Amino acid sequence: MGVEAKPLPYDLSNLTVLIVEDSLYMHSLFSSMLKIFGVGDIMVCEGGHEAMDLITVTQARRKTRYINHIDIVLMDWLMAKGDGKELMKWIRAHEKDEIRFLPVVVVSGYTTDIITATARDMGAHEILVKPVSAKGLAGRICSVIDHPRPFIQAPHYFGPDRRRQALPYKGQERRVTQSEKIRIEDVKTEW
């Protein structure tokens, strides 16, 4: 019987992560942690507005030798120069698939359920609540890589499928739209 190969940890050297964080202390911490994790290219913006400009350039369809496509956006929620909400809205409403399908991890200092729910309902893939731990950050990155949820485009939502698992529900039916009225259309993308 052959010896089973030991699984190897992810090599993130091909990955480009954009950090959008206005706190100097926090973005240098995130930057250093990602470097330790082996992320190949780390970009930093101090606010949502700067991030929009950078993402527009990096995600341009034609890839150049000098500019990498951003693979994951790690963004703070509360920032002075363009907050996370504004950036999230811009990303998910963008006409380019390279931008609107970007995986986003929201980092929030707010521990309230309202912020978590808002970020999720605006299309965040993962939410990381401060204080940040190395295990927490690593877990969110692995989750984005391992579980690429399909995107849903509904009348009031565009973003990754918010249902992580389908469980039977025994309570009262509260959905506004009945399932027989929903027409699911599978769309293939080049992205």
Partner 1 sequence: MSKQNGDTSPQDGGVAVRLFRLTNRLKKKITKMRKPDDTPGFLAPEAIAEADALITELCEDCPAAMNKHFKALVAAWTKMRDMPDGAERKEQAQDMFTVAHEIKDISALCGYDLVSYFAESLRDFVAGTELKLEAQRVIIQAHIDALNVVLKQGIKTDGGAQAEELKKMVKIAIDKYR
Give the helix/strand (H/E) hosting 120: helix 113-121
Q: Which of 60, 40, 38, 56 is CA-nearest to residue 48?
A: 56
Q: Is 109 in the site for partner 1 (CB under 8 A)?
A: yes
Closer by beta carbon to partner 1, 53 or else 161: 161
CB of 114 to partner 1, least distance (A): 13
CB of 165 to partner 1, least distance (A): 15
CB of 145 to partner 1, least distance (A): 5
Q: Of residues 52-91, which lie at the interface with partner 1 (CB under 8 A)?
A: 71-72, 78, 80
Q: Which stretch binds partner 1 (CB under 8 A): 50-58, 113-121, 126-134, 163-171?
A: 126-134
Closer by beta carbon to partner 1, 155 or else 170: 155
Closer by beta carbon to partner 1, 134 or else 170: 134
Alpha carbon distance 7, 25 (integer Å): 35
Q: Which of 14, 74, 120, 165 binds partner 1 (CB under 8 A)?
A: 14
Alpha carbon distance 180, 150 (integer Å): 21
- Specify the long-range contacts of residues 2-11, CB closer than 8 Å, at least 24 apart: 10/38, 10/142, 10/145, 11/38
**Residue with tokens 């000098």, as numbered in its chain:** 66
Q: Is 12 in the site for partner 1 (CB under 8 A)?
A: yes
Q: Which of 33, 54, 60, 67 binds partner 1 (CB under 8 A)?
A: 33
Binding mask 132-171 for partner 1 (x = CB under 8 A): xxxx-xx--xx-xxx-x-xxxxxx--x--x----------
Q: Which of 100, 112, 119, 170 binds partner 1 (CB under 8 A)?
A: 100
What value, to the nearest 5°, has the Cα angle with vertex 93 and ends 88 and 97?
105
**Residue with tokens 């949820």, as numbered in its chain:** 149
Q: Is residue 70 within 8 Å of residue 18, measured between CB atoms?
A: yes
